């Protein structure tokens, strides 16, 4: 059975979390009153604090209310922390069910966050901090492929 918050709202893509960061997310990192998510980055990434919007807050509120006896946000039916492998399988099954015609993996959500922010014209340094990249070269990938990158350079 899937976790109750899986697929509810935009939570999994927006923060640009790595799988290990998502499954390692602890209750104390979620501040629903102030609407903040305190991200502890892995792979030597920079920690950050992200805003939580309405749909995310509602989904997390439900999860935190329904699973009071665990320190982790995302758990199995037995209330043990969800593993990265289990989450990868869950996303792969969702991709198969959606019949997208290609294998789906969770890191695609992280990349989608980077591309979305770049295509919206967000500053590359801000994207770097948002995703927790120490090296700007890991972030530049998203801006290089932005189709609208130069459209606002000249106004006739």
Return per-residue pLDDT of the chain as tens, 156 residues.
444 444 444 455 688 999 999 999 999 999 999 999 999 999 888 999 999 988 889 999 998 998 888 999 999 888 899 999 999 999 999 999 999 999 999 999 999 999 999 988 899 999 999 999 999 999 998 988 666 667 777 777
Catalytic pick from 26, 42, 43, 149? Answer: 43
Active site residue 149: no
The residue from 14, 41, 57, 110 that is catalytic is 110
CA distance 127 to 118: 8
What's residue 12's pLDDT? Answer: 59
What is the 8-class DSSP label of residue 82? Answer: P
Q: Confirm whether 99 is a catalytic residue.
A: no
The CA–CA distances, whole Å, from 15 to 68, 81, 105, 137 equal 23, 20, 16, 20
Q: Which domains does the chain have, with CATH numbers?
A: 19-103 (1.10.443.10)
- Give me the catalytic one of 3, 14, 41, 133: 133
User: From the candidates 3, 14, 18, 41, which is the catalytic residue?
Assistant: 18
Known active-site residue 43? yes
H runs (alpha helix) in 8-146: 19-23, 54-66, 84-98, 107-119, 124-131, 137-144
* Stated length of the chain: 156
The residue annotated as part of the active site, out of 107, 125, 134, 149, is: 107
């Amino acid at each position: 059975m899937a976790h109750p918050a899986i697929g509810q709202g935009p939570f999994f893509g927006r923060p640009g979390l790595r799988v290990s960061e998502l499954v390692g997310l602890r209750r104390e990192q979620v501040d629903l009153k102030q609407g903040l998510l305190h991200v502890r980055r892995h792979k030597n990434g920079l920690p950050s604090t992200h805003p939580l919007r309405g749909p995310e807050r509602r989904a997390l509120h439900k999860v935190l209310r329904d699973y009071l006896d665990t320190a982790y946000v995302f758990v199995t039916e037995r209330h043990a922390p969800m593993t990265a492998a289990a989450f990868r399988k869950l996303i792969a099954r969702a991709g198969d069910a959606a019949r997208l015609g290609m294998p789906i993996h969770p890191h695609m959500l992280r990349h989608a966050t980077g591309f979305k922010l770049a295509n919206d014209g967000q500053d590359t340094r801000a994207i770097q901090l948002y995703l927790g990249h120490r090296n700007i070269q890991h972030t530049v990938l998203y801006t290089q492929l932005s189709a609208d990158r130069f459209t606002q350079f000249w106004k006739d």
